[in-house]
Amino acid sequence: MNRFSAMPPAKKMGAFLFIFTSISRCFLPFSLLFLMILEGNLFAGDPVVGIVARVRGQVTARQTGDETITTLKVGDRIFVGHIVESEKDSRAQLVFTDDSFVNVLPGTTLFVKQYEYSADTGRRTAVIKVSDGRARFVQYKRMGRESRFTVEMGHALVNVGISDFFVNVSQSETEIVNIGQSISVKNVSYLAVGVVQLGSNQKSIIKEKTPPSQPATVTPEQRRKYLKDAEI
């Protein structure tokens, strides 16, 4: 048994948060790798589904059915049922237990409806809802065949595996911009028949009860802007 495994839970969490916060300020890839290495120790037997890796400004969380609002800080845990809201000019990065992450951008409301992940089987079942605002979703680990990762939005529904895409949700329409592997997009309403496949550097707009628009090209300049705007 190594020294970290032998630590009491409280000291283990404190040591993790200190090291993780220091690393995440400099290099995101290294912070994600560190989280992946400690995943088996930190999350075993714990109902947590994610952790706040970065935060800027005022970002809050509350549990469904509970009016208690918590201001998030680096190291805070995310649970199923959490509603995360970012104020204007505020943003946060949430890293889930399977190492996927979402950048919650200013003026966004995100709801963790479901998140189950087994490192032993490589199976993940997740449903995330973005009610309004903007976010970037990144999944870079290949999961088992029965896994699914679903993002629900105002008018759109996306089911993805390995992926990297942006969403922009408003009352009138939902824009999805894909910069990763191919993803399928459809309207959340069963009345709107039609599925669109978005390849890398393609986008689509979905409006109420209408199929997604045909893929449009994302130019290199637009891609750079999307990436810049989604930085935390």
- For the stretch 162-220, pLDDT in tens is 999 999 999 999 999 999 999 999 999 888 889 999 999 999 999 998 999 999 999 99
Structural domain boundaries, residue 155: 3-229
* Number of structural domains in the chain: 1
Higher pLDDT, 110 or 2: 110
Q: Does 133 score more than 60 pLDDT? A: yes
Count of CB atoms situated within 10 Å of the CB of 139: 24
Q: Does 40 score more than 60 pLDDT? A: no
Show the tokens assigned to 24: 């995440």
- Mean pLDDT, to the nearest integer, of 60-86? 95
The answer to whether 191 and 155 are in contact (CB under 8 A) is no
Q: Indicate the angle between helix axes 28-42 and 9-24, nearest 10 degrees.
A: 170
* CA 86/CA 166 separation, integer angstroms: 16
pLDDT at 149 (0 to 100)? 92
Among 15-24, 60-69, 88-97, 111-120, the least confident range: 15-24
Count of CB atoms situated within 10 Å of the CB of 45: 5
* CA 70/CA 83 separation, integer angstroms: 10
Domain harbouring 70, CATH code = 2.60.120.1440
Three-state DSSP class for residue 4: helix
pLDDT at 44 (0 to 100)? 39
- Mean pLDDT, to the nearest integer, of 56-73? 94
Higher pLDDT, 67 or 221: 221
pLDDT at 141 (0 to 100)? 87
Q: Does 227 score more than 90 pLDDT? A: yes
